[in-house]
C-alpha cells in the first residue's frame, strides 16, 4: 500500500509540476515539501504510541486515497483557475503530513 500512495512520484516530480505553473516558486517547493515530511515524522512517534499500528495504517491509507483523488481532480482544473495551484500546494502539504505520520514510518516498524 505504501507504493500505491504515489509518494515516489510526488517527492521526485513535485519541483517540475510546480515549475510548470509557477516557475519562481518551483525551486523552493521540493525543499518545503521535504521539510514538512521530515518535521511530521516526529509526530509519528506520538501517534504510534497513542493509536497503534493497525488503526494508523487504515486511517493513513484512507486519507491518502482522498488526497490523491483531490489532487487528480485539481490537476484537471489547474490551468483554468489560478486558485487551484495554491489549493494543490496546500493539499500536497497535508498529503506529506499524513504520509509522514501514518504510512511512512509505520510500515518500517513492521519490518524488524
Q: Where are the domains of the chain?
A: 3-106
CATH match of 3-106 with 1.20.1250.20: yes
Helices (H), the chain: 7-21, 23-26, 29-51, 53-77, 82-101, 103-110
Average pLDDT of the chain is 82
Nearest CA among 87, 109, 99 for reference residue 5:
99
Q: At 79, which helix (H) or strand (E)?
A: none
Q: What per-residue confidence (pLDDT) applies to 66?
A: 92
Confidence of residue 1 (pLDDT cuts 50, 70, 90): confident
The answer to whether 95 and 62 are in contact (CB under 8 A) is no
Taking only the tens place, the pLDDT of each residue in 2-57 is 777 778 777 777 777 777 777 777 788 888 888 988 888 888 888 877 887 888 88
pLDDT at 72 over 80: yes
Average pLDDT rounded to a whole number, residues 74-81: 79
Whole-angstrom distance, CA of residue 55 vs CA of residue 60? 8
Instruction: Please answer whether residues 14 and 29 qualify as being in contact, where contact means their C-beta atoms are separated by less than 8 angstroms.
Output: yes
> Which grid cell is 43?
509526530
Amino acid at each position: 500500500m505504501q507504493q500505491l500512495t504515489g509518494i515516489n512520484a510526488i517527492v521526485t516530480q513535485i519541483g517540475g509540476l510546480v515549475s510548470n505553473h509557477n516557475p519562481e516558486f518551483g525551486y523552493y517547493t521540493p525543499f518545503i515539501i521535504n521539510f514538512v515530511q521530515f518535521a511530521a515524522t516526529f509526530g509519528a512517534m506520538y501517534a504510534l504510541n497513542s493509536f497503534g499500528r493497525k488503526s494508523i495504517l487504515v486511517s493513513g491509507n484512507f486519507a491518502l486515497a482522498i488526497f490523491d483523488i483531490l489532487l487528480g481532480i485539481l490537476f484537471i482544473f489547474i490551468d483554468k483557475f489560478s486558485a487551484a495551484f495554491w489549493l494543490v500546494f496546500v493539499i500536497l502539504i497535508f498529503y506529506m503530513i499524513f504520509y509522514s505520520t501514518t504510512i511512512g514510518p509505520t510500515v518500517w516498524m513492521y519490518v524488524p
